[in-house]
Structure 1
């Protein structure tokens, strides 16, 4: 076989993988792009839609936190799990209430007067819906795995798309700009290729900075960073017995500390007769203020008899992150971790997360991350349109299968890439098996595909 024939066979193989990747994950990628675009501007959207809840008259001083919690609980009875304090004196505090029946509420309270402005169920808001769909499709761990799978296949789409796009016979100008005067499929193909060329690097960045939050790959990454000393600080490993994890008690804990052991409130500080006397949230607030936290933090209340108060400072720039644990019986600080205490790998992940969410350098960061979201929408629409127009009636219209030797070569390359992303590797093997053993050998399937 000549070199030209081998090259054409490899090109057809890559084209076939690109087709399958797009067909399988295009709906999920489109959903991730749209929900991600919404969440990029979550503050702006919520300020516009829920302004009466989120804003309060500017105040000179704040009331004790216990008064805010009492006011929220009086208006919406239930168990308070957390309170978020604003840095802006014109904003309300958020009290998280879990009622005896129904979904958890976020109650908005004026820190200066304790007036309750109202409440909502977060997942029923536009931003909350986008947030939950973007992370898990509202399907829990199964949905999280599907999102991770789609993100990994997006990397395969970019890699195969870059190979197909690379200008071999045409010039760079035609490769980088749409052919505006073209008509039909020629125009859509040039638009698809040029948009992909301009947004590919940003799409890869979004995928790689989002994967640390995925269930499988994120857990493996955290587990891999710890032995190298690149994850959460070593002083968190002082527990002789297995301890609850920070992420299990603090919903919005920093990525670095989600698997770190949670400190415990010490039993020797309980009452003499076995009763536990909590120092109270106001004493905890004073302790936090004495340690430099005077507002703009999320304070999670203790869970269980050995639970601790946990304050998380989570600013737009991760260098200001700080997590402080306070013993509920003594009021003493039993844990204090900042960005400087993270390992190098964890610092890189936290920086990537803030860039991913469009928070690190303000509006410019939001607009920059919006570009790949728009790119994914255009790529999905143009790819779907080209497939629909070229497919034979009643058939899938996949690119023709290459010779088995070429298919095996592509499969080995894909398998090597999948080693770094376990879900991608497993799904690639499944698709390869279906393509090689089912579609290629069953005439009915082969006729439908081609």
Structure 2
């Protein structure tokens, strides 16, 4: 895209609107640009409109993907039980109580003898099954569901293949690993440009849009609708970009590295578990995003003390007993500390491991807490939660809960739903507007003409540079675009004409 156009040269691209008009009139392909229009391209409105246009080319595919997959993940607790009711739903017999979790675990081990049980999540309602997560011999993940009233194994599935599981994998990295992460981060960075330029166009062009709508001009109502939707989407977009940046592979990783040197962190630092850490909590659990609070994923896990077995009144080390605690013991001990239910229990990974009992506190990150239970003495090896987080980790935890539509319960979920639908609508109305006004038979893309007056607006130049430095992916991509424009696009007649 060219940002250094010569405004005086004749062109077959559609004539430009007045600086306050959001759309050009019907093009006249054969007419040369009149001399009176020569100074128009240096205006901020046209420049911002042009950058808004090209940012949307990058952003719309990413935003559309994020909005659709985000909606699916937002309603995962409604969608998955409906699609897999035979696994996730049970009949709660009148007067019956939930059987011991150890009995349920035994049923799973008998049904899947070659798999390793790594965690259990207790039911959150009377009609829900107990979920056990296993690692198969092929290092894949399997969720197995058990009727908590009969200990009957209902079956299993790979969480990666479910609708919500697929959606979150696409949402995270397009299921393309590092490359997908980079594309998502690139889209998020340019979404910031699109939001900033969009608000400038919204406020500067509001009178022109109103005049055109009042006159009943062609396409005026669609432009008015797009502007209204965009004004709502922009605020949420800025919030989601900020709250989602800690997840990114470039910005998040680089900033985390800098913070570590200052004693801060996006994640918690489990000081109570630093005696001899051998793994982190997210390594103990596959698909840890389902149950492990994001800020605790990198927290170390302590070891059990085999010598503590004697304190529990068992044979201990002398009798050769492997463990005196089981999943029911871990749940009982952890529940006494006031953890939020339902609980998830990560099983000891080996003879030196602990039971890590996680209270996720879905709606309130301030109640997130994990209790590590020694598998021999059933003692609390360490407890770590929100109150122990570094200050920045607390802020990020709250932002993530807001990002996922759960911080303020139903209200947050409704607002996030409306926001996702609005994003989808904006991603549709924008291209429709371009399609209606695109020049036909001119060989031009129909992009707005205008160059950013960086030389005459130092504050604008400083802002662009600051954004590029703060968001490295944006800065690198912007530099590449400008170099491509100056060295290639503006020099070749075909590309110069196509990109206006």
Task: Tell me if both proteins adopt one fold, taking TM over 0.5 as the criterion.
Answer: yes
Residue 129 of structure 2 is aligned to residue 79 of structure 1: no
CA-CA distance at 1:400 after TM superposition: 2.6
Return the offset for 1:284.
2.8
CA RMSD in angstroms, aligned pairs only: 3.4
- What residue number does 2:302 align with? 263
1:121-140 to 2 correspondences below 5 Å: 121-140=158-177
Cα distance change on mapping 1:67 and 1:166 into 2, 3 Å: same
Contact 1:265 1:327 in 2 (8 A): yes
Taking a change above 3 Å as real, the CA distance of residues 216 and 254 of structure 1, as seen in their structure-2 partners, is farther
- The answer for the alignment partner of 1:351 in structure 2 is 398
Q: Which structure's relative contact order is higher, taking Cα pairs within 8 Å and 6+ residues apart?
A: 2
Answer yes or no: is the 8 Å Cα contact 1:225–1:345 preserved in 2. no
Of residues 237, 240, 243, the one that matches 1:206 is: 240
Give the Å deviation of 1:383.
1.3
Instruction: Give the Å deviation of 1:412.
Output: 5.0
Residues 59, 190 of structure 2: 8 Å contact kept: yes
Between Structure 1 and Structure 2, how many residues are aligned?
444
Any conservation in 2 of the 1:395–1:449 contact (CA below 8 Å)?
Answer: yes
Q: Which residue of 1 aligns with 2:367?
A: 320
Q: Secondary structure at the match of 2:166?
A: helix
For residue 400 of structure 1, the aligned residue among 421, 427, 449 is 449
Q: Is structure 2 residue 486 aligned with structure 1 residue 436?
A: yes
Counterparts of 1:289 and 1:157 in 2: how far apart (Å)? 48
Q: In the alignment, what sits opposite 2:179?
A: 142
Query: Shift in Å at residue 230 of structure 1?
Result: 6.7
Query: Conserved in 2, the CA contact under 8 Å of 1:297 and 1:313?
Result: yes
Q: Find out whether 1:449 has 2:499 as its counterpart.
A: yes
8 Å CA contact 1:180–1:187 kept in 2: the answer is: no
Residue 323 and residue 142 in structure 1: after superposition, are their counterparts in 2 closer, same or farther (change >3 A)? Answer: farther
* 2:322 paired residue among 277, 281, 285: 277
Instruction: Please give the secondary structure, in 1, of the residue aligned with 2:204.
Output: coil
Is 1:331 the counterpart of 2:406 in the alignment?
no
Deviations 1:216-258 (A, max 9, x none): 3333454455535575566628748885333333423222222
TM-score by length of 2: 0.78
Compare 48-57 and 190-199 and name the one that shifted more.
48-57
Match of 1:244 in 2: 279
Q: Which residue of the partner structure matches residue 27 of structure 2?
A: none
- Of structures 1 and 2, the larger Rg is shown by 2
| 1:415–1:428 contact (8 Å) kept in structure 2 | no
Distance 2:340 2:202 in 1: 54
Closer/same/farther in 2, CA of residues 403 and 290 from structure 1, 3 Å limit: closer
Separation in 1, partners of 2:414, 2:51: 31
1:23 paired to 2:60: no
Secondary structure, aligned partner of 1:113 = coil
Q: Which residue of 2 aligns with 1:91?
A: 128
- Which among 44, 48, 51 is matched to residue 78 of structure 2? 44
Indicate if the aligned counterparts of 1:246 and 1:258 stay in contact, CA closer than 8 A: yes
Provide the rounded CA distance (Å) in 1 between the counterparts of 2:455 and 2:425: 31
Separation in 2, partners of 1:200, 1:180: 25
Name which of structure 1's ranges 325-334 and 335-344 shifts more when overlaid on structure 2: 325-334
